[in-house]
Amino acid sequence: MNTLLLIGNPLGHSFSQRYFEAKFAREGIEGWQYRNAPMADIETLRETVSSDPTLRGFNVTIPHKRDVMRMLDKTDAEAVVIGAVNCVKVSRIDGFKGKIADGILLEGFNTDVYGFRDSLSEVIGTRRPDALVLGTGGASKAVCHALGTLGIKYETVSRQKSATSLGYDDLDSSVIKGHKLIINTTPLGMYPNTDTAPEIEPHTLRSGLQPRRYAVSTPRQTRPRHGSGRIRNAGTTGRKRMGDIFKITHYSPTH
C-alpha cells in the first residue's frame, strides 16, 4: 500500500481526502490511500515521515506552508520564489543523508499557484481587474505570485497594517471600488469557525455591482463583518484543481 497525507491544523474544512478517495475509486487506481493527518506542531513531521515506510508524499495546508520548507532537502525554484510549499514528494534512498532522517529525501513544490491561476482565468477571462488579497500567509504568497504572472495589480490586506499591506480599517468604499476582485486566503469562515468572516464592512461592497463569489471551501457563502447579508455563491468551477482555502469572495466585472 502507498500512502498520501494531508498535514495541517485544522483539517475539518478540507475536502482532499474525500476527493482522492473518490478519484482512486473512479479511475481504478489500486494500492493507494489518502489520509488526513492533523498536525499542530510541524516538528512532529519527523516522526510521521520516518515511521511510515508506505508514505510517498503529502500535501501541506495551514499553518505549515512556510515552516515546512526548512525541513526539505530540495525545493522547486518557483516554490522558493513564492516562499511556500503545499506539496512534498517523499523518496527513500539508501545512503542519503536527509534533513528529517537518513535515507529519506523530501522535495517540495507549490501547486497552489497553478490551480489558482487556471481557476481564476476561468472566472475573469481576459479581464485584468485590480485585486485585494486578504491575508499574508503561505496561501497569500501563492495567490500574489499567480496574480503577478497574470499581469494583475494587487494589494494585500493584513490584520496589522504595514509598509507593504493595508489594514482592514483602510478598506473604505473608495478602496473597494478600485478593486473589482477580492480574494480571501485567510482561514476565516472555515470549519469549525464558520461564523467568522473577513473584517470588511458590508456597506463597502456596493449594491449594484453584481458581486460574484467563487468558493472552494466552507462555508459556501462568505459573510462580511457586522452584516447579515451574504455574498452569493457564483459556482465552484475549478474546485478540483485549486488549493483548499482560496475563496474569491467578491468579483464585479463592471461598475
* Residues designated catalytic: 65
- Residue 154: strand, helix, or coil: strand
Residue 105, beta-bridge partner list: 91
Within 10 A of 59 (CB to CB), how many other CB atoms are there?
24
Q: What does the alpha-carbon distance between residue 10 and residue 14 come to, in Å, rounded to a whole number?
A: 9
Q: What does the alpha-carbon distance between residue 130 and residue 151 come to, in Å, rounded to a whole number?
A: 10
Are 146 and 116 within 8 A, CB to CB? Answer: yes
* Cell numbers placing 162: 504595514
Report the amino acid identity of residue 15.
F
- Residue 180: strand, helix, or coil: coil
